Amino acid sequence: MESFNMTDLNWNFCPAKNNILCALLYISISFLTAVTVCGNLLVIISIIYFKQLHTPTNYLILSLAVADLLIGALIFPFNMAFSVKTCMYQSTLKCLIQKAFDFIVSSSSILNLCCISIDRYYAVCHPLIYKTKLTDHVSTMMGLGSWAVSVLFGICIFLMDYYYDLCRIGCFFMSGIVSILAFYVPAIILLCVYSKILLVALKQVSSLQNATSQSGPVGSKKERKATKTMAIVMGLFLICWLPIFISYPFYTLSNIVIDLIEPFNWFALSNSMLNPFIYAFFYHWFRSAFRMMISRKIFRGDYVNTKLH
């Protein structure tokens, strides 16, 4: 097994024969990295600093933002240095580390999305018991559990790849099982939970539209906005991740699929840039927090207990 050496970095993310294309790709990915890091950093600082944002839902959003921040700050540059396509055919230590770390952070992001979907399910479908079921302690344990499971999956992937020559067929099937548990199962959970939320929200909209009270139209507008938000969340997640989910198991069968793995991987990781907009930018209190940070107002006084509007 080859030892890791920073001098051995192989920049095969972009073919050197097309310098203009390479430059455009690196500029685009650098922009993607900056937006991902800054967006998730704003979310993290907001939740930690402002007491108003210390809620069970926001603790889960904080855990998701940390995962997405790591994707932007570490995985994006790492994948620029080590091509995913190239590492499919190499068992060097640097490739194994890249794959394991990529797996840990990416699966953590997806598992955190699942935790948020469960939180939203109780908030929308069972509002009367929501505060007793989803407490600060429960949401914290869910976030930490997502990271613990992801680290376990990453260790399994690393060990199976490291000792592949010893277990071959067994490692192949085990790797497939881990991938299913880390990606396909959470995707199915997300689809089922958000589908249930949408059905409940639509029923509530129908009930409010048929109501004769004055509060009906206001409630209907809020439910339509919640329904639209949930549709955007589920739609963007599936759009970003399904191509890599579907193609990765078949990369050994077709050269066309192999060539698509690299762009599909970047397309999936770009979901980490979108998450702050989906889960935070839609809420007015986060927007108020962002304005205070961007204007550096929080550095000129104590605004921890500020009421965000």
Residue 237, pLDDT score:
77
The reply to whether CATH 1.20.1070.10 applies to domain 6-300 is yes
Q: What is the pLDDT of residue 17?
A: 52
**Residue 186 pLDDT:** 84
pLDDT tens-digit series, residues 286-296: 888 888 888 88
| Helix, strand, coil percentages for the chain (3-state, nearest 5) | 85, 0, 15
| Higher-scoring residue by pLDDT: 120, 18 | 120
Measured CA angle at 66 (ends 249, 26), to 5 deg:
65
* pLDDT tens-digit readout, 87-146: 655 567 777 787 788 888 888 888 888 888 888 888 888 888 888 988 999 999 999 999
Closest by alpha carbon to 77, among 107, 56, 98? 98
Average pLDDT over residues 272-294: 79
